Structure 1
């Protein structure tokens, strides 16, 4: 299901949707990771944005 772009509140800002290419792509480009690496992080750690960004930062620093 696609996001409704007309809803601009902050209900899901603390989550990353693994089904949305733009969210996965943004996280990948922000930390210099590949799309499969980001999808693996989501599968391993869930979709909490703070947790994913911390893990992505650690992975990107290697």
Structure 2
């Protein structure tokens, strides 16, 4: 199935995907972090949205 170029939100918000530019932009805006912070969080705890949020709240926003 081809990507829907009009999509503005992830299909499954339980997971963070860093493969598409629009997805990185969506998550950085939603979580109010930089792309670097987002990528670091995903690298450390995986792509589960709740785990990323917990990581960011614990380590990035001090």
After TM superposition, the score normalised by the length of structure 2 is 0.61
Q: How many residues align?
A: 59
Paired with 1:42 and 1:17, the residues of 2 have a C-alpha distance of 9
The gaps in structure 1 that reach 5 residues or longer are none
Unaligned 5+ residue runs, structure 2? none
Residue in structure 1 matched with residue 13 of structure 2 by the alignment: 13
Q: CA deviation at 1:24?
A: 2.5
Question: Using a 3 Å threshold, how does the CA distance of structure 1 residues 51 and 19 change in structure 2: closer, same or farther?
Answer: same
Distance 1:30 1:60 in 2: 15
Moved more, 30-39 or 51-60: 30-39
- Residue number in structure 2 paired with 1:59: 59
Q: CA–CA distance in 2 between the matches of 1:31 and 1:13? A: 12
Q: TM-score, normalised by structure 1?
A: 0.61
The alignment's C-alpha RMSD in Å is 2.9
Q: Which moved more, 1:11-20 or 1:23-32?
A: 23-32
